[in-house]
Structure 1
Amino acid sequence: MRPAEVHRVTVAQAVDRYIDMVRAKTATGALSPGTAEVYTRDVHTFARLAGGERVLDDLSGEDVDDVLLRFALKPDGRRGGRPPGGEEAGARQSGASQARFRRSVSAFFRYATVSGWVQLDPMAATTVVPRQRGGLRPERRALTREQAEGLLGTAQSLASAVPDGRRRADQRTELRDALIVLLLATVGPRVSELTRADLDHFYVNAGVRYWRIFGKGGATRDVPLPREVARVLDAYLAERRARTVETGALLLSWRGRRLARGDVQAVIDRVLARVDPQHRRGVTPHGLRHTMATHLLAAATDMDAVRRVLGHADLSTLGRYRDDLPGELEAAMRAHPLLGAPAESPDPG
């Protein structure tokens, strides 16, 4: 028999009430806007997959397992269902997205238990764990050197392109798109850090342009920009000044609003569509963060410097951002530091 205090609310009703709570916590500063956006998006997805008209307390662990697996197998909506190049693996949810979705659903059910919407938290009875779902993740996230150079070269060409006279000046996005790809691939910010960037977060010190990145937990880091990226940034800022926009946000839609996290993937895909098909592979914003870390570490860049650029407190975290590169071990052994140059043969004469 059900206890009297359990409220028979539907999934859709519970999600609406949960989102009201998330918004209230965001307004008081208890939750960051980025976290609130993720929770809101994920519980809406959960309601669609579970069935909004069902009673929340009727869902079993088996029902939640079904939702988790359906989420894992559904196309990634941020990418239009299929990345450039038609890679079927990339069209599914990554292992990281699946783990994030599970965390969001767990938080939702914890709140539902406290609120009296469910008798027992069904997450305790689920059997699908991130370890089992990890096989659906693409084998590698980082682009190869050729793929990364193709993407960056295309972005640089886009930044230097002659403006299309058929479009209004305030609707042109070439410089902005180029800047987004260059910042993601060379500095490796989280997508939330990129979209939160404001104009006054960039400054010049001793002739070097820096980006003060506001990361997780209120932590900040000052990262110097490569010269080519700084050049594109300056061109973009000059274009921005020509428009009368009453916002301090760095990245804007052509309507003049701050760019949303979900818009960044569309920008990457638009630039990727211009890359030579031989060097094109679909990639997410987080995949570009992996690409930056992988290639800096492969070039023997100081690990602590890479850690500071990425904004991590612990060196051990770098292992998650390090992918193997083709031919890397062979190149390392050819340049073995203990062997040096081969000794010259003595002159027989």
Structure 2
Amino acid sequence: MSQTSIEPFLEMLAAERAAAPATLEAYATDLADCAASLLRQGEDLDTASPEGLRAWVSEMSASGSARRTIARRISCIRQYYLFLLRDDRRPDNPAAQLDAPSPQRSLPKFLTEAEVVALIEAGTPEPDSAPVPRRRLILGRAALELLYATGLRVSEMLALRRESFRENTRMLLIRGKGGRERLVPLSEPARIAVQALLREDSAHPGPWLFPGRSPSKPLTRQGFDKILAELGRRAGISADRLSPHVLRHSFATHMLAHGADLRTLQTLLGHADISTTQIYTHVQADRLKEIVQAHHPLGQPQDNGDTIPSSATDEKNL
């Protein structure tokens, strides 16, 4: 497999699109998967034919790969050959006509408002707590308050530096996907929780708001997942219903439920396209159906199936 075009492609993604390391790793894996399939057919990645690429897509479908995975890999390959075309490395884009399955969009999972409150309250340490578990709870509460108050991605939260927070801080400047910056307001409960964490860590040097085992490095995603699972146990919420993204979804869902508009939500979440934000309208639609079924006079089956309330009969005659 030729590496001469893969490396420049990944360098372009990093330099021009500010692609994150995890994104670059995923693209490299997708390209390697395609290259391995082409090699079995006697073709090379850089000189692949449309037929060879279609055979690769067929292989993925036959192996049971998820539709979302197939769509993502085809998107990567299209971008790769478009890069080769624009860089005069080949005269065409053999992936231009590849048919990608439309990924099934599942509705985001979210917690109820009461569950979020219980989860945050689970981060309140007992007065006689030992120093280490006490700090874990204080850190966990500060993280939860931030995630729920701002809708940050967990990567954005773990990248926060201490210097971003002062006693009068009311807005945070967040650098999100693709290097896009946005301002998000900081709620009073979140500010208080962060200040409590800063006081707890005042004797420990380091630039990160959420430091890892080494103060010079931020807390890892895996490390935060363990803290979140601990708070979930304390709050009585099962681990399979908890993740940082569930809190982001909860923030968005509850904001819409309390009257926020989609454009505002798009800005707060840092979505490049409002179509990404619109999925939350489906959540609201499902919730509205549940409310109507639960509370509307005709939402529930009548005890006497052949009896219609007189008011309904009168309405039908109008």
TM-score band w.r.t. shorter chain: 0.5 to 0.7
* Counterpart Cα distance in 1 of 2:141 and 2:70: 29
- Identify if the C-alpha distance between structure 1 residues 151 and 115 changes in structure 2 by more than 3 Å, giving closer, same or farther: same
CA contact (8 A) 1:177 1:268 kept: yes
Per-residue CA shift, 1:110-167, capped at 9, x if unaligned?
33556788786443343332x2x31xx4x3214141xx53355234323535697496
For residue 235 of structure 1, what is the amino acid of its counterpart? A
* Counterpart Cα distance in 2 of 1:180 and 1:98: 34
1:150 and 2:115 equivalent?
A: yes
1:109 and 2:81 equivalent?
A: yes
In the TM superposition, what is the alpha-carbon distance from 1:295 to its structure 2 partner?
1.1
1:40 and 2:25 equivalent?
A: yes
CA contact (8 A) 2:146 2:152 kept: yes
1:200 and 2:200 equivalent?
A: no
* 5+ residue gaps, structure 1: 1-9, 74-92, 336-349
Partner of 1:250: 209
Partner of 2:200: 239
CA contact (8 A) 2:158 2:218 kept: yes
TM normalised by structure 1 equals 0.62
1:22 and 2:17 equivalent?
A: no
Secondary structure at the residue paired with 1:124? coil
Secondary structure at the residue paired with 1:62? helix
1:141 and 2:141 equivalent?
A: no
Question: Which region of structure 1 is more displaced relative to structure 2, 293-302 or 279-288?
Answer: 279-288
1:226 and 2:226 equivalent?
A: no
Q: 1:291 aligns with which of 201, 225, 250?
A: 250
Partner of 1:160: 125
Alignment RMSD? 4.3
Partner of 1:347: none
1:64 and 2:57 equivalent?
A: yes
CA contact (8 A) 1:61 1:124 kept: no
In the TM superposition, what is the alpha-carbon distance from 1:268 to its structure 2 partner?
4.4
Q: 2:96 aligns with which of 108, 124, 127?
A: 124
Count of matched residue positions in the alignment of Structure 1 and Structure 2 = 285
Secondary structure at the residue paired with 1:212? strand
Secondary structure at the residue paired with 1:222? strand
In the TM superposition, what is the alpha-carbon distance from 1:188 to its structure 2 partner?
0.7
| Structure showing greater Rg | 2
* Counterpart Cα distance in 2 of 1:152 and 1:50: 49
Question: Which region of structure 1 is more displaced relative to structure 2, 119-128 or 177-186?
Answer: 119-128
Secondary structure at the residue paired with 1:211? strand
In the TM superposition, what is the alpha-carbon distance from 1:243 to its structure 2 partner?
1.1
TM normalised by structure 2 equals 0.67
CA contact (8 A) 2:31 2:76 kept: no
Secondary structure at the residue paired with 1:193? helix
CA contact (8 A) 2:85 2:93 kept: yes
- Identify if the C-alpha distance between structure 1 residues 60 and 99 changes in structure 2 by more than 3 Å, giving closer, same or farther: closer
Question: Which region of structure 1 is more displaced relative to structure 2, 264-273 or 182-191?
Answer: 264-273
In the TM superposition, what is the alpha-carbon distance from 1:47 to its structure 2 partner?
2.1
In the TM superposition, what is the alpha-carbon distance from 1:176 to its structure 2 partner?
3.2
1:175 and 2:138 equivalent?
A: yes
- Identify if the C-alpha distance between structure 1 residues 215 and 332 changes in structure 2 by more than 3 Å, giving closer, same or farther: farther
In the TM superposition, what is the alpha-carbon distance from 1:48 to its structure 2 partner?
5.0
1:310 and 2:269 equivalent?
A: yes
Per-residue CA shift, 1:213-271, capped at 9, x if unaligned?
234565544333233322221122223322122xx333322223134567665654554
Secondary structure at the residue paired with 2:283? coil
Secondary structure at the residue paired with 2:241? coil
- Identify if the C-alpha distance between structure 1 residues 297 and 70 changes in structure 2 by more than 3 Å, giving closer, same or farther: farther
* Counterpart Cα distance in 2 of 1:318 and 1:275: 29
- Identify if the C-alpha distance between structure 1 residues 118 and 292 changes in structure 2 by more than 3 Å, giving closer, same or farther: same
* 5+ residue gaps, structure 2: 297-318
* Counterpart Cα distance in 2 of 1:121 and 1:266: 45
Q: Which has the higher contact order (CA 8 A, sep 6+)?
A: 1
1:51 and 2:14 equivalent?
A: no
Partner of 1:5: none
